[in-house]
Structures are given as structure tokens and as C-alpha cells.
Amino acid sequence: MNDDLHRIMIKGGVTSPGELKDIITMLEAAGLSEVYFGSRQDLLFPLVKKDEASLESISKYNTDIIGDRGYQNIVSSYVSADVFEMTYWLKGSTYLYILEEFDYLPRLKINITDPKQRLVPLFSGNLNFIASEQEDYWYLYLNMPGWEDANFYPVLIYSWDIVRISKTIEKIHAQAHDVTSLFDILNRTIDTNNKSLLKKLETPYLTFPYYEGMNRMGLDQYWLGLYWRNNRYDLQFLKDFCGFCLANSIGKICITPWKSFIVKGIKQKSRPELERFIGQRGINVRHSQLEMNWHLPVDDHEAFELKKFLVRNFDENDISTYGLTFGISNDVGKRSHFASVIIEKNQSPSIVKSFQVRPTYNVLHFKAFDPNTLTYVSYAQDVDKVELPGLLIELSRKYFGQLGVTGKASQETGEKEVAEFTVYQCASCHTIYDEVYGDQKNGIVPGTSFEKLPEFYKCPVCESDISVFEKTTMSVEKP
């Protein structure tokens, strides 16, 4: 994502037409004509003409413009409530009550989600509250900065403790090194209404939903999903759309992590006017499934062009990707993606940056193509752009071959077991040091542990110091 972009946090991805219209007025005053949607359900935009304070004074809703990348928007799956499959007790109003309780701007990433939906990622945050089958209680999956391992909190969290626990963890997490020490510190700091964790979280595989167009919601209501393939949302259209919502008593607009938005509760009598509104503006409400299931960095022209190239190849080969999701990433080894299949762009080593070098890519996918397994499988490394369509088509066929298979790996479908191993990766150029193989070209024999490398050892590609190497886990399919 372009780090120069400023943000407006849309808490939980939920806003009202009046609030969004107010934000648009503020952005127009800054000389902008369009806005991006972010992967954490926020609004992103360049700020060039006016300072933040003078723009914020325009807002009737006391909206803040955030330039500090350290702050994070709270993500929620409110967008899926009453639209897709949901946990029986988790109504839209529950999300709204919890989100309203947040009276501070967090620096930790907080996700509040329903495990029975697939539109919003469950585990992409630092604090991941995931609804349990016990009413008003949540699992908490912790993936904290500086921790070696992510893990589940040992008890279930009460709905009305979520904000207090989040705020307290924000203050104390630097004192803890794992979930056990955090649990101990938290219990000494605040009293909470916890409940025993009787069983592990189960997230049965669900295919990725189609989230666009006009769709029935109950007996006399509809929901509408709108998607712009280039993620450049025209401010005048959004302002007019807010006006339609206000005139038709539509109370909420929801931004999705897939750079789209959903409006729920459209009355049947309002549908003809809405269809006329959309049709007169030439808005496409039925994009191909091939292009809607992609997650791209914001304002990244190269990633957008790569996506168009790959989608065009899918279309020409008449390939189905229903249920699959794809992500393009510039952060090799970051392991924070939530698409089924990831295409990582390798950065050119600093030693050759003065030359024009064709980029190469890594292709990974989650085990069983389900991001909720949290297990990456490396499929191909350092491949050229022209090789990507064929590899992704192979993966698409593999995905459909293993659909419906449960339990152990199936020889019939070709699903293979996964082996995990620890390596050390250069943060500058992403070169890997594997203790099993050593670095014989530089005199490091196989079996030499990372801790026993000589102090003068440097990255064999970019010559970065050994101190920049980071411990990471990789997965490969067993032959």
C-alpha cells in the first residue's frame, strides 16, 4: 500500500449515509474527486492541499484524518450479518454496541468476527475476537508483535469485556512474551467475566461468497453490493448514493475488506428507484467472479496490471475460480494475507538495483486453500510473470479436486501432506538461510545452526549484516 496515503477510520467498516456524506464534503474541500477503500475497512486518500486540522473543522461528526501509520482501524464482520451464514446469537446490533464502546484509537489490529462467514478475515489482526457457540462469548486469538508464536487465549471473553480487555492489552502487552504471561498480567490488572473454554474453535470450510448486485434479504428487503475494479470510488457518486440512502431510510453503509461496499435493508418499494439510480449512472453490478475475488495493495498500479493480466488468462482459458481468493503482495514472508492463493513479488537485491531486472514471483496457498488453517504451502518460487497463469490454473484445478475431502490427505485428489520447517530470512532481500544446507559457497557447512554463524557472516546476495535476518516458518508439500 502507498504509505503516503492518509486515512479515515470507519470503525468496524460501518458508517451511516449522513456520516459518509460529511466525510465526502471534507475530502472535496481538500480538492479530491475520488477515494480508496482499504483492506481494514477504512478510507484512504492522498492529502495535498490543506492541513488535517483545517479539514477536520469542516466535519459535523468530528471526523479525524489519520496520517500516523501506527494507528489501526477496527475490523468487524458486521457487513455479513443478516446477509450470509451467521452464528445464531450474533446480530448486527451486537456488533454496533461493541463498536460504540471503543473510546480510543488502537495501535493494535483488532478483528471482531463471526467464524461462519468468509467475507471478513478471522485472523488478520493482533487481537482476533471470534464468536463462539456460547451466547455473548468470544474466542480470542492473539498474534502479538514480538511474540514467537500466536495462540488462543485460555478462556472465552464476554462481549462487554472486549473493549476493556483490548485497551488493557494495548497498555501491557510489551510486558508479556506469550499468551500465558499475558493472561497472568491481565488477570492481576482487571476483573473480567470469563467463561471456560470447553472446546477448540472449529471453522468449517465455506466457499467465498459472491457479494455484488441486488440480492433478496428476508421477505420484503434487499441488500446491494457494489464493486469498482480499480478501487477508485468517485466522490460525487458516493455523495449522491448517500442522498438516496437518506431519502429511503437506509441507516448503514458497510465497507468490505475486498474494496467494495454493501448496503443492507433496502425496502422492496425502494428497489425500482435504486435500479434507476444505478442504471442512469452506468454502474456495472455484475462483474465476473474471476476478478472480484482478488486482494491487492491500495494504489499499486503494477499489482493492478498483474491482476488484469492473470484474469484475462483465466477468461481466455475458460477457468473457474469460484470459491477461491487471490492476493498480490509486495511483502515477501510477511504472512499476514487472507486470500487462498498468494502471489508474492520478490524485491530485486540491492546489489542489482541499478539495472533493469524482470521481477520474479513466489506462489503460495493455504493448506486446503482455506486461510483459516493458518498454514502456508509453498507452490513455486522465483517464477517469471509469464509462468504465473499456468501455475494458477494448476492450483485452481487442484482446489476443485480436493473440495469435499475431509480428514487425512487423499491420494485420489492429489492433496499432499505439508511439512513445516524453520529458516532465517534476510529482511532486506528475503534470501533464506536454512540450517540444514548451510552456505557452502561461503564456507558454512550443512547443519550449522544460525546461532553458531560467525559474527562476520553477511547475506550472500545483498551483503546485509546477520542482525537483519528474521526467524520464520515455511511449509512445503511432501512428495
pLDDT-derived band at 207, boundaries 50, 70, 90: confident
For position 204, what pLDDT does the model report?
81
pLDDT in tens, 81-96: 989 889 999 999 999 9
Give me the residue label for grid cell 493480466.
Answer: 309
3-state secondary structure the chain: CCCCCEEECCHHHEECHHHHHHHHHHHHHCCCCEEEECCCCCEEECCCCCCHHHHHCCCCCCCCCECCCCCCCCEECHHHCCCCCCCCCCCHHHHHHHHHHCCCCCCCCEEEECCCCCCCCCCCCCEEEEECCCCCEEEEEECCCCCCCCEECCEEEEHHHHHHHHHHHHHHHHHCCCHHHHHHHHHHHCCCCCEECCCCCCCCCCCCCCCCEEEEECCCEEEEEEECCCCCEEHHHHHHHHHHHHHCCCCCEEECCCCEEEEEEEEHHHHHHHHHHHHHCCCCCCCCHHHHCEECCCCCHHHHHHHHHHHHHHHHCCCCCCCCCEEEECCCCCCCCCCCEEEEECCCCHHHCCCCCCCCEEEEEEHHHCHHHCCEEEEEEEECHHHHHHHHHHHHHHHHHHCCCCCCCCCCCCCCCEEEEEEEEECCCCCEECCCCCEHHHCECCCCCHHHCCCCCECCCCCCEHHHEEEEEEEEECC
Could you tell me the fold of the domain covering 1-122+203-287? Sulfite Reductase Hemoprotein; domain 2 (3.90.480)
Q: What angle do CA 408, 412, 415 make, to 5 degrees?
A: 50
pTM given for the model:
0.82
For position 475, what pLDDT does the model report?
56
pLDDT in tens, 421-475: 678 887 766 677 888 778 877 788 888 888 888 888 888 766 778 888 888 766 5
- Taking residue 272's Cβ as centre, other Cβ atoms within 10 Å add up to 9
Domain chopping of the chain, boundaries: 1-122+203-287, 291-402, 418-477
- Hey, which CATH number is domain 418-477, 3.40.50.720, 2.40.50.140, 3.30.479.10, 2.20.28.10? 2.20.28.10
Do the domains at 291-402 and 418-477 have one common CATH topology? no
Could you tell me the fold of the domain covering 291-402? Sulfite Reductase Hemoprotein; domain 1 (3.30.413)
Q: Which three cell numbers stand for residue 181?
A: 504471561
pLDDT-derived band at 331, boundaries 50, 70, 90: confident
pLDDT in tens, 93-106: 999 999 999 999 99
Between 84 and 54, the higher pLDDT residue = 84
pLDDT in tens, 124-172: 999 999 999 999 999 999 999 889 889 999 999 999 999 999 999 999 9
For position 296, what pLDDT does the model report?
92
Rounded Cα–Cα distance for residues 150 and 375 (Å): 12
For position 338, what pLDDT does the model report?
84
For position 140, what pLDDT does the model report?
98
pLDDT-derived band at 409, boundaries 50, 70, 90: very low
pLDDT-derived band at 408, boundaries 50, 70, 90: very low
